Structure 1
Amino acid sequence: MGKIICDGNTICYKDQGQGEPLVLLHGFCGSSEYWDQVVPLLSERYRCIVPDLRGHGFSDAPMGAYTIEQMADDVVQLLDALELTKVTLLGHSLGGYITLSFAQRYASRLNGFGLIHSTAFPDSEEAKEKRLLAVRGIQSNGITPFVDKMIPSLFAPDHINTHPEWIHLAKEIGYKTPPQGATGAAMAMRERPDRREVLSATVLPVLLVAGEKDGIISPEKTFTVDQPKVTQVTITDVGHMSMLEAPDQLAETIVTFLDKVKAN
């Protein structure tokens, strides 16, 4: 993996393929490994840059609460280090919140952007309370019980029994998340603002991908804006994890969108 220093913290990343640059951001308690089945389907035509977010994977996990803006700034510094002026940026879940912050403040660095199983809505009051409970639980009991409880809920219900290997893989990735990284990112998600106006105001091509059986973020929460620049795709029979549940379909969706970006 490549490494750069962002504000004193090491951010690790994978850089594979050739062509127009595509940056893929993973979700909470994930890592760049989430994209391992998708990148080979894209890297023949695109240069795929896939970081471990602050607090995740092999990247540093500083103590204290993080902010979504801070995590977006890490991505900017990664692009600067790689001397990339413009990219297409796609974010899964937490990665989508970071993508929206990036699009709001650094639109000139984007050819297009997208949310995959993510939303422009802020946390509800109930969700904010759940974030605090998660933080307390991780601080008291460590990351393992939290991951064991959370990961199955990310998948379509029938996949829990039919594809236990997917759940096992996601758990193994989750266990590697440093506790302070998980709690820092949980607080960042808790404090994120409503960014629906970023989607409605942008002139850039936008991709919104939802899972038909996503129990975390419903398609209604993903599809918050309907305008010509926005491509909305629902992947059938998947939950919150299409990169593991349906990597071929997700890659095909991304390629179709990237063709639109190129034509824009």
Structure 2
Amino acid sequence: MKLAYAEYGAGEPLVLIMGLGAPGAAWEPHTAAWSRSFRCLVADNRGAGGSAAPPGPYTTADMADDYAELIGGLGLGPVRVAGISMGGAIAQELALHHPELVSRLVLVASWARCDAHTAVIFQTLPRIWDRPEAATALLQWLIWTPAWFAAHRHELLAERTAPDRMSCAAFSAQAAACVSHDALDRLGGIRVPTLVTAGDADLFVPPRLSREIAESIPGAILEVFSGAGHTHHWEQLDRFNAIVEEWLR
């Protein structure tokens, strides 16, 4: 299916894949920096933003095919690809199913196969998604560290009543893709340079799952952000942007 997308900057193409429940626009703190060096392609995953929301459940392989259609339709490839959380799972499948389209990978706070802890989170969130304040509060507790939350309390509280939320059906369909993703035994087939990043205080996707990815992809490098959580890419924004930009050059 066709994805809604936007482009920022010029240079070699960089495809950015966002995580569960968020539109591609959430990449803005990163594209503001990376668009000076790359042509950043930011899409809304199926079910999010301006993209269609077909009936679920979705799979990460389905969503990888969406990105393959986007990249091929633009006459691009191989391209650099970065994915956050669920986006990292989609990026794994893109590199495995469409290796001719991927030249380098960045996998942020992701997993190759859910453990029991993470699966329960993905199964629970859809059950309360129809209660916006409760669902967003739980998600914020999982992805931000206490220090970040304390420093941005009013901003985060305001997000709990934001009107532009994904529908319950679409969120559930994406969450199902998170639970069913299982590429662990296939990651040895990824043959492109890969950077894996993790926050050592991540409650949502524990850093051991990122370590598992790095240990399974030949030659992959793991960069750990000390004192940061699932959203280490925001909590330590300048460091993250600089490390990823250097890696992608």
Name the CA distance, whole Å, in 2 between partners of 1:92 and 1:171: 21
Structure 1 residue 209 corresponds to structure 2 residue 201 = no
Name the CA distance, whole Å, in 1 between partners of 2:104 and 2:151: 36
* Residue 251 (structure 1) aligned to one of 233, 241, 246: 241
Change in 2 beyond 3 A, CA 1:170/1:223:
farther
* Residue 166 (structure 2) aligned to one of 177, 199, 222: 177
* Residue 167 (structure 1) aligned to one of 133, 156, 161: 156
* Residue 108 (structure 2) aligned to one of 104, 107, 116: 116
Give the TM-score normalised by structure 2. Answer: 0.89
Name the CA distance, whole Å, in 2 between partners of 1:29 and 1:51: 13
Change in 2 beyond 3 A, CA 1:132/1:106:
same
Identity across matched positions, percent: 24
Partner of residue 151, structure 1: 140
Q: Which structure 1 segments of 5+ residues have no match?
A: 1-5, 260-264
Partner of residue 134, structure 1: 125
Structure 1 residue 30 corresponds to structure 2 residue 27 = no
Change in 2 beyond 3 A, CA 1:33/1:114:
same
Partner of residue 224, structure 2: 234
Q: Identify the range of structure 1 (70-79 vs 55-64) with the bigger mean alpha-carbon deviation.
A: 55-64
Structure 1 residue 62 corresponds to structure 2 residue 54 = yes
Name the CA distance, whole Å, in 1 between partners of 2:158 and 2:240: 18
Change in 2 beyond 3 A, CA 1:221/1:166:
farther
By how many angstroms is 1:256 displaced? 1.6
Paired residues, number:
247
Give the RMSD, CA atoms, in angstroms.
2.3
Query: Is the Cα–Cα contact under 8 Å of residues 17 and 24 in structure 2 kept in the other structure?
Result: yes
Change in 2 beyond 3 A, CA 1:234/1:56:
same
Change in 2 beyond 3 A, CA 1:114/1:22:
same
Query: Is the Cα–Cα contact under 8 Å of residues 100 and 198 in structure 1 kept in the other structure?
Result: no
Name the CA distance, whole Å, in 2 between partners of 1:169 and 1:253: 31
* Residue 206 (structure 2) aligned to one of 218, 237, 240: 218
Change in 2 beyond 3 A, CA 1:88/1:101:
same
Name the CA distance, whole Å, in 2 between partners of 1:13 and 1:158: 33
Name the CA distance, whole Å, in 2 between partners of 1:33 and 1:71: 17
Change in 2 beyond 3 A, CA 1:100/1:206:
same
Query: Is the Cα–Cα contact under 8 Å of residues 143 and 179 in structure 1 kept in the other structure?
Result: no
Q: Which structure 2 segments of 5+ residues have no match?
A: none
Name the CA distance, whole Å, in 2 between partners of 1:156 and 1:83: 41
Change in 2 beyond 3 A, CA 1:171/1:117:
farther
By how many angstroms is 1:240 displaced? 1.0
Partner of residue 3, structure 1: none
Change in 2 beyond 3 A, CA 1:114/1:105:
same
* Residue 190 (structure 1) aligned to one of 179, 198, 203: 179
By how many angstroms is 1:178 displaced? 1.8
Partner of residue 40, structure 1: 32
Amino acid at match of 2:30: V
By how many angstroms is 1:161 displaced? 0.7
Change in 2 beyond 3 A, CA 1:130/1:188:
same
Q: Identify the range of structure 1 (166-175 vs 201-210) with the bigger mean alpha-carbon deviation.
A: 166-175
By how many angstroms is 1:209 displaced? 0.5
Amino acid at match of 2:239: Q
**Off by >6 Å, runs of 4+ in structure 1:** none
Q: Identify the range of structure 1 (182-191 vs 56-65) with the bigger mean alpha-carbon deviation.
A: 56-65
Partner of residue 262, structure 1: none
Give the TM-score normalised by structure 1. Answer: 0.84
Amino acid at match of 2:224: T
